[in-house]
Amino acid sequence: MRVFSAWIVLALAAFTAAAPTTHTVKIKETVNVPRGWTKRDEAPRDLTVDLRIALPQSNFPLLEQHLWEVSDPFNERYGAHLSQEEVNELIAPHPESVDLVNSWLAEHGLSGADIARSPASDWVKVRVPVGLAEEMLDAKYHVYEHSTGDTLVRTTSYSLPEHLHAHIELIQPTTLFSRFRASKATLHFDQAAQTSSTNTDAPAISVPSASGGTVDASCNTTITVTCLKELYNAVGYTPLVNSGNQVACTGYLDQFANLDDLQLFFADQVPAAVNSSFKLISINGGQNNQSEPGDEANLDTQFLFGITHPIPATFFTTAGSPPFIPDVLTPTDSNEPYLDWLDFILNTPNPPQTISTSYADDEQTVPPSFAQRVCQGFATLGAKGVSLTFSSGDGGVGDGDPDPATQECFTNDGRNKTEFVPEFPPSCPFVTAVGGTIHVPETAVDFSGGGFSNFFSRPSYQAAAVPGFLSTLVPGTYAGLFNPNGRGIPDVAAQADNFRIFFGGSPILIGGTSAASPTFAGFVSLLNDARIRAGKSPLGFLNPLIYSIGANAGLTGAFNDVTTGNNPGCGTPGFNATTGWDPVTGFGTPNFGVLKDIVLALP
């Protein structure tokens, strides 16, 4: 009896000692492995991962309210963007969340110098070995290999103490299998590209909305900066170099912008820009290796900075790219460069006013919690006065694969249901998604990504435009293949094929909505130049203005409505371009001259 009693006393003592750090654990997030990924070996326990912990932004609804007010051209606060300090105050987590997360980290031996925080403390980053991550998250990490050979270290499920669920929105890398690829549909060396970029023999093409009413005939087969300025009515407009306006594009996945190629491009198409360049900003050790020119990076920098010269330009190069090889030569799983860029730009007090990105992935490969939080980051940038453009994708209504023969249009939720596949981040309602056109006069290019988000509901600015398009569909069209209540994609469009760039010292033709995003962003930057010169604020988040213009019959001509073409995918013809907004070309392509008059008339 005494022995039994002594055992009870010892057991109770042990339980009491463990009680302060014993919590009820509950699953936080579970995903199915996206199609194309195969589980391989268990992840090495000593491999280090950067766990990023998102704390709830306590006043984000108020920040979102500010965003709508400063972006609505009919609101008296239009253009009154928030400062970095005001933004940080609104997105700061509740002190209770900070304290509880700190306590949880301390229970696992992490404190002080082990922890990195964003200025608003809404993100916490800790570098830990996989073994500790598995203990903290009650998870099991494995190496997953994609059919392309890319590899990631991920888990399909993780858990947290139940009392932390309201204080942690998400933790990554865990369930994010996104591959974040460039939107390139075509890349080919072409005999026409080896000759001069202009052809004066054929008669000019009549385009009433263009500068002077005509576009050079060569633009029907080869797109240059001159073609775009003619087509979009910007010939003769020269921006200032010192107005405070800035423009930028992003580079990932070892896509490097070659300086010699840039000079060849300038000599060929923008002689006034010869000997000028861009500012290089390295994030997380990003490089710009001049011996490895990137076709995507060359396209983005050459056309965006060619259109906007002499506006000060920036190329963000962010390190981290697949494949990950789990051995001693690769001690850290660094497959999430996009988070590094977003963290950097969110905490930059005066970022460029216009930023173009030509990378995306299938929305369904991104956990909804991650997509929502990233989208909130874009809203934060908009509230600060930044215009963000994203390529809408190159798979039509299908996944990001521009080859219809290899597209896979099935859900990743275990049902394997056939559905159209929107792209993220273009599906975020706080960015401007740019689709593609081709030829002169313009028609929708067949790879132009478009459709409707399965994550984000229709934003208020689309309340008239999207139902207007849906009402034109024959009842039952593509029933069950898309979400008719989702955010519609794209918002606008621009030329997207046969772009003449220089790559490795030679001219080539390249295409994809990767070309459309920097093109549209270039003209947005010119509009910002006009406003800033007039003593006004930059445009910031564009979509409320775009849709207000689209809904106003008196502003006809601000966008060149593209009414022909379609975006096939998933074994279907996709949607048709039509009068007004459509999920192929949005409201169409920009008419800079008309848009300039509109934005200069705004407060």
Indicate which residue of 29, 145, 295, 300 is catalytic: 300
CB 437 within 8 A of CB 450: no
- Residue 188: count other Cβ atoms within 10 Å of its Cβ: 10
φ and ψ of 437, to 5 deg? -130, 175
Query: Containing H/E element for 382?
Result: helix 368-383
5 catalytic? Reply is no
On whether 580 is known to bind a ligand per the annotation, the reply is: yes
The letter for the amino acid at 503 is F
525 catalytic? Reply is no
φ and ψ of 553, to 5 deg? -60, -25
d(CA 449, CA 426) in angstroms, rounded, equals: 9
- Write out the two tokens for 501: 């760039």
Closest CA to 288 of 279, 305, 506, 508: 279
CB 82 within 8 A of CB 66: yes
- Write out the two tokens for 99: 């304290």
On whether 261 is known to bind a ligand per the annotation, the reply is: no
Indicate which residue of 453, 514, 517, 525 is catalytic: 514
CB 520 within 8 A of CB 247: no
d(CA 589, CA 591) in angstroms, rounded, equals: 7
At residue 483, the 3 state secondary structure works out as coil
Place of tokens 């600060």: 384
d(CA 128, CA 50) in angstroms, rounded, equals: 7
- Write out the two tokens for 440: 């002169």
On whether 400 is known to bind a ligand per the annotation, the reply is: no
Closest CA to 469 of 561, 555, 589: 561
DSSP E strands in 329-449: the ranges are 354-357, 359-362, 387-391, 423-424, 432-438, 443-444
Indicate which residue of 29, 50, 296, 529 is catalytic: 296
3-state SS, one letter per residue, for 452-463: EEEEEECCHHHC
CB 590 within 8 A of CB 555: no
135 catalytic? Reply is no
Q: How far is CA 540 from CA 407, 546, 568, in A?
A: 35, 12, 32
3-state SS, one letter per residue, for 174-198: CCCCCCCEECCCEEECCHHHHCCCC
At residue 393, the 3 state secondary structure works out as coil
DSSP for 79-144, written as a single string: T-PPPHHHHHHHHPPPHHHHHHHHHHHHHTT--GGGEEE-TTSSEEEEEEEHHHHHHHHT---EEE
Closest CA to 486 of 457, 512, 464, 463: 457
The letter for the amino acid at 383 is A
d(CA 390, CA 362) in angstroms, rounded, equals: 14
- Write out the two tokens for 97: 């969340």
On whether 270 is known to bind a ligand per the annotation, the reply is: no
CB 574 within 8 A of CB 490: no
Catalogue the active-site residues: 296, 300, 514
Q: Which residues are annotated as part of the binding site for Ca(2+)?
A: 561-562, 580, 582
